[in-house]
Structure 1
Amino acid sequence: MDNTKRVSEAYKKTESREEKTQFYDSWSKMYDQEMNSYGYKGPAMTASAVRDLYPDSRDVVRILDVAAGTGFVGEELIKHGFVKVDALDPSQGMLDEAREKGVYQELICAYFDEKDHTIPPDTYDVIVVCGGCTNVHLPCSCLREAVRLLKPGGYFVMATRPFHLNTVDEYKEGRFENLMDEIEEEGKWKKIRKEILPGYHAEHEGIVFVYQKK
């Protein structure tokens, strides 16, 4: 299977998230090579957004990289001086590849649901998500889990393609952004940034969101 077909398979809807996780396990050995050949700039955009939030003292900032995969975002964060970074991903195969890069302190093999891990509330200064919003990946409810795990004043940073927010059943018709707004109306966080950027993945544009927990 060539890289374009494999990326298309990642976007394909499956019956369960477990089935999708098995797909990523099978892809893990070739993931870096194939995504890099396809021009994947989302991780660099995500890390740059975090960099802009912390002009100094980056070595003390504790970050959770959700849907971390093989560690693309972790590699970019390290370049900017962030060293306290944990990875969370349900694919053990992907995490095994990430471990080899040495950019994470802890690797957590779990789905991003409160019942699937033991991370206590108010743990992280930043939670990042890059590329986690395709079919049978993160549910909209992950936003509330992010709020729970962030320290007061902490940041949620997410990068994805607008295409996914408009076409994936879980997110389309504004469900994802509406929940972001609902959480803001509840006084739990505030929007810091929403920006469309070119070249997120090959010729496709991306969108970056930044929210700060109150």
Structure 2
Amino acid sequence: QDVAALEYRAPRLAAAALAFAFPAPPAGARLLDVACGTGLVARELHRHGFRCLHGVDGSAGMLERARSTGLYRQLQPCVLGQEPLPAPAEHYDAVTVVGALGPGQVPSSAVPELLRVTKPGGFLCLTTRSNPSNLGYKAELEAVLGGLEAQGACQKVLAQEVERWEKATSEQESTQGTGYIPGVVYIYRKCPVPPGQEG
């Protein structure tokens, strides 16, 4: 799969959105890159000053390629949705899932597990496609996020719709004949626990 040929913009857009939302200089922030793949997101995060990067992926081959970038301090195997993340609660300043939220990949039901390992006040940075074949999944994902927001678990910071997310591989998936499919970047902030409600 030639990601460059598809003009895959998600890693760059997600990293820029997270850097924009981040209130403090990012060098000391601890980030978890879920479904890290070959390290495309790590490269972009590094450009924005994020240095303490941990990654998980379900593929040993992908983890090897991610390790070869030299950008991750820690890499571990994990198939999110089938097993919990290999991290304690409230461990990360931000958690990213870029390019892996879709049918047959990371299920939308895994979002609470992402929040579990995020520090109160920390961020989730998620992306998904908005092309016709992914609209059902996108609706599920937004329902899960909306439910968590209604419970006071997290708060939406931004939802950035992007028309030209990547090149379409079929005319049916293209938006109005542009040759591209749209996508969206979500940034959510984990709400601090109100006093008296800890535990």
- TM normalised by structure 2 equals 0.84
Quote the residue 1:119 is aligned against. 87
Q: Which letter does structure 1 place at the counterpart of 2:21?
A: L
CA positional deviation for 1:198? 2.6
Cα–Cα, structure 1 residues 117 and 144, in superposed 2: closer, same or farther, change >3 Å? closer
Conservation of the 8 A alpha-carbon contact between 1:146 and 1:156? yes
Q: Which letter does structure 2 place at the counterpart of 1:77?
A: L
Quote the residue 1:103 is aligned against. 71
Q: Which letter does structure 2 place at the counterpart of 1:166?
A: L
Quote the residue 1:88 is aligned against. 56
Q: Which moved more, 1:111-120 or 1:148-157?
A: 111-120
Quote the residue 2:187 is aligned against. 210
Conservation of the 8 A alpha-carbon contact between 2:130 and 2:181? no
Conservation of the 8 A alpha-carbon contact between 1:133 and 1:165? no
The CA deviation string for residues 6-53 of structure 1, in whole angstroms up to 9 with x for no partner, is xxxxxxxxxxxxxxxxxxxxxxxxxxxx11122111100010011102
Q: Which letter does structure 1 place at the counterpart of 2:135?
A: N
Matched residues, number: 178
Cα–Cα, structure 1 residues 46 and 63, in superposed 2: closer, same or farther, change >3 Å? same
Higher helix share: 1
Conservation of the 8 A alpha-carbon contact between 1:90 and 1:109? yes
The CA deviation string for residues 50-101 of structure 1, in whole angstroms up to 9 with x for no partner, is 1102264211111111111000000100011100011111001011011111
Conservation of the 8 A alpha-carbon contact between 1:131 and 1:159? yes
- TM normalised by structure 1 equals 0.78
Q: Which letter does structure 1 place at the counterpart of 2:140?
A: R
Unpaired runs of 5+ in structure 2? 168-179, 192-199
- The question of 1:166 aligning with 2:135 is answered yes
Unpaired runs of 5+ in structure 1? 4-33
Quote the residue 2:141 is aligned against. 176
The alignment's C-alpha RMSD in Å is 1.6
Identity of aligned residues (%): 30
CA distance in 2, matches of 1:157, 1:48: 10
Cα–Cα, structure 1 residues 114 and 149, in superposed 2: closer, same or farther, change >3 Å? farther
CA distance in 1, matches of 2:56, 2:108: 17
Conservation of the 8 A alpha-carbon contact between 1:130 and 1:159? yes
